[in-house]
Structures are given as structure tokens and as C-alpha cells.
């Protein structure tokens, strides 16, 4: 890192300019997917969904699917359409794994439970208050 700092110093940059450049560099790295804009008024804004509120349990419309394709012949049950924060989804996944006694994970906004446990998961989710589960 010292190489580019010394190069900037040789060009007459002060320490304040170097610190400002480092801050801009950090901001630039956050801009995933934006390479260049020809618009003079372009202002990059982040779309963060971290603050997404979790719907109440009785308003969640969860759907359960059984899938084998692309998993080496292994059967998994997928819980889709959970609307809420990642923490709440991980908590629900942990509960479902414990109640079924199997492994699983959260990936791409879906809860993946190993094995075909659709009926059992429907019962568990309805007991937990997810009344619109199918």
C-alpha cells in the first residue's frame, strides 16, 4: 500500500488528500455492479434490504416444495416466500431443523431442509403460528 501513497506524495498530495482518497476508495468498492456512468448528474445509491421488517407469523404465506433435481439425487424440502430479515429466517431454519432432527440451511432467501418433511413441517409451522402455510 505504501507504493501508491508515496507516488501521490511525489505528485504533491498532502496527508489529508491521501486520507480523503482512501475514503473514496472504500466507497467505490461498495459500488458492486456499477462500472461507469456517462450521466453528469448520476449519484450512486445503495439498495439495502437489511432493514426489511418481518411480517407477523399469521401474515406469512409460506410454501413448501420437495426437490431432487440438481442435488445428486438427494431429496430436500424447501420453504419459500418468507418475508423478513435474515436473522429471523435463520432463527426459523434453526427451529425447523431441531424439530425435524435433520440438517439444513438458508440460501437465496429459501430455507432448505434435508429430506422430504413437508407434512411434518406444515404441522410445525402451523403450531408456531404460520397459519397460511401450504
pLDDT of residue 102: 95
pLDDT of residue 55: 83
- C-alpha distances in angstroms, 71 versus 49, 67, 75, 119, 125? 29, 8, 7, 21, 25
> Quick one: pLDDT band at residue 21, thresholds 50, 70, 90?
low
Out of 7-16, 34-43, 84-93, pick the least confident.
7-16
- The structural domains of the chain, ordered by start, are 1-47 (no CATH), 57-128 (3.30.780.10)
Using the predicted structure, report yes or no on whether residue 3 has a pLDDT greater than 90.
no
Using the predicted structure, report yes or no on whether residue 30 has a pLDDT greater than 80.
no
Phi/psi of residue 74, nearest 5 degrees:
-80, 140
Cα separation, 87 vs 68, whole angstroms = 27
Cα separation, 106 vs 108, whole angstroms = 7
35-41 own/partner pairs: CB under 8 Å, 24+ apart: none
Out of 31-35, 84-88, 122-126, pick the least confident.
31-35
Share of the chain above pLDDT 90, in %: 40
Nearest to 52 by CA among 124, 128, 117, 109: 109
pLDDT of residue 26: 58
Amino acid at each position: 500500500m505504501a507504493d501508491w501513497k508515496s507516488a501521490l506524495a511525489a505528485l504533491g498530495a498532502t496527508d489529508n488528500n491521501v486520507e480523503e482518497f482512501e475514503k473514496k476508495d472504500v466507497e467505490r468498492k461498495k459500488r458492486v455492479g456499477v462500472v461507469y456512468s456517462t450521466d453528469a448528474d448520476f449519484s450512486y445509491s445503495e439498495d439495502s434490504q437489511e432493514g426489511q421488517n418481518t411480517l407477523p407469523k399469521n401474515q406469512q404465506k409460506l410454501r413448501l416444495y420437495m426437490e431432487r433435481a440438481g442435488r445428486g439425487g438427494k431429496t430436500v424440502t424447501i420453504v419459500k416466500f418468507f418475508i423478513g430479515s435474515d436473522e429471523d429466517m435463520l432463527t426459523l431454519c434453526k427451529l425447523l431443523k431441531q424439530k425435524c432432527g435433520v440438517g439444513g440451511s438458508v440460501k437465496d432467501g429459501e430455507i432448505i431442509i434435508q429430506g422430504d418433511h413437508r407434512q411434518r413441517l406444515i404441522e410445525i409451522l402451523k403450531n408456531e403460528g404460520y397459519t397460511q402455510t401450504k
